[in-house]
Amino acid sequence: MPYRQFEEYNIQVTDEVKSKFKAIISDLGEDVNREGILKTPERAAKAMQFLTQGYDQDAAAILKGAMFAESYDDMVIVKNIELYSLCEHHMLPFFGKAHIAYIPNGHIVGLSKLPRIVDVFARRLQVQERLTHDILECINNTLKPQGVAVVIEASHMCMMMRGVQKQNSTTTTSGFRGQFEKIETRTEFLRLISADLSN
């Protein structure tokens, strides 16, 4: 049986965005009736809905759906979480990795939920600074841990493809709450996300 991909999109939104993309492509000087471009407005409309699906998702509800009572009270780290987002200034991609840690306070959360909430906030028009803050505050306010830390390292196509055109630049943002505001806890976290534990 051949591979089939099933995706659902709001037909009205798809049609409206499609017509706008068609106009933009035409205004830029391309022939919208050319074979290779003919279906591009619709594909672009669907792609944008996929890349901004986070507006329709509730990160706090995702966390609440997988919280478990547990007495463990040491640091939990999920690092190297891939993220892909769109810069709200130029609507060009930025991408990289998020590192998240928390210290439980009576409850832990299913580990897969931390990457899920990264995706929820990344799948919106974003700036890296707010993305870091959104993830941090969602975990802090929902899980209510003893502490939470988030570090994001990303490359921005708006700097690499246009503007200053610095292909090797990366941006790092961080946020800390609770126990991670203490230098010794923060230092341990930063050491662990930098370490190659496979050796």
With H, G, I as helix, E, B as strand and everything else as coil, classify residue 156: strand
pLDDT score for 160: 85
| Local structure of residue 181 (DSSP, 8 states) | G
Other C-beta atoms closer than 10 Å to the C-beta of 110 total: 13
Q: ∠ CA(16), CA(18), CA(20), 5° rounding?
A: 75
Provide the annotated active-site residues.
Answer: 87-90, 128, 156, 158
In the chain the domains, ranked by start, together with CATH numbers, are 11-51 (1.10.286.10), 59-194 (3.30.1130.10)
Structure-derived torsion over alpha carbons of residues 121, 125, 126, 132, reported in degrees to the nearest 10:
0
pTM: 0.90
Burial pattern 55-90, b for ≥16 Cβ within 10 A else e, equals eeeebeebbeeebeeeeeeebbebbebebebbbeee
pLDDT score for 10: 87
The low-confidence residues of the chain, meaning pLDDT below 50, are 1-4
Summarize pLDDT for 35-83 with one digit per residue, the tens: 999 999 999 999 999 999 999 999 999 999 999 999 999 999 999 999 9
